Structure 1
Amino acid sequence: MAGLGFVSGFFGTKAVATPVDAPRATCGAAAPMTMMRHGVRGRKLNKPADQRKAMLRALTTELIRHGSITTTLARCKEVRKTADHMITLAKDNSLHARRQALAYIYDKELVSALFDGVPERYADRNGGYTRVQRTMPRKGDNAPMGQISLV
Structure 2
Amino acid sequence: LTICINRKMMKFYCILLILLLSQCYSFHISSMLSTQTLRKSELSMISHGIGFKRLGRPADQRKALLRGLTTEVIRHGRIRTTLVKAKELRRFVDHIISLAKKGTLHHRRQALAYIYDKDLVASLFEQAPERYAERQGGYCRVIKEDLPRRGDGTPMAIIELV
Query: Do these two structures clear the TM 0.5 threshold for a shared fold by scoring above it?
Result: yes
Greater Rg over alpha carbons, structure: 1
Q: Distance in 1 between matches of 2:130 and 2:47?
A: 38
Q: Of 133, 137, 145, which residue of structure 1 is paired with 2:148?
A: 137
TM-score, L = length of structure 1: 0.78
More helix by share: 2
Q: Of 124, 127, 135, which residue of structure 2 is paired with 1:114?
A: 124
Unaligned residue ranges in structure 2 (runs of 5+): 1-5, 16-32
Mean CA deviation greater in 94-103 or 136-145: 136-145
User: Which digits, 9 at most, give the CA deviation of each residue in 1:2-60, with x for residues without a partner?
Assistant: xxxxxxxxxxxxxxxxxxxx9x64749x8325747714110000001000000000000
Superposed, which structure 2 residues align to 1:49-128 within 5 Å? Answer: 49-128=59-138
Unaligned residue ranges in structure 1 (runs of 5+): 1-21
Q: What's the CA shift for 1:87?
A: 0.3
Supply the RMSD in Å over aligned alpha carbons.
2.1
- CA gap of 1:130–1:45, structure 2 versus 1, over 3 A, is same
Query: How many pairs are equivalent?
Result: 128
Q: Distance in 1 between matches of 2:64 and 2:108?
A: 19
Tell me which stretches of 4 or more aligned residues in structure 1 moved more than 3 Å: 24-28, 33-37
Residue identity (%) = 54
TM-score, L = length of structure 2: 0.73
Q: Distance in 2 between matches of 1:41 and 1:79?
A: 13
The residue that corresponds to 1:38 in the other structure is 47
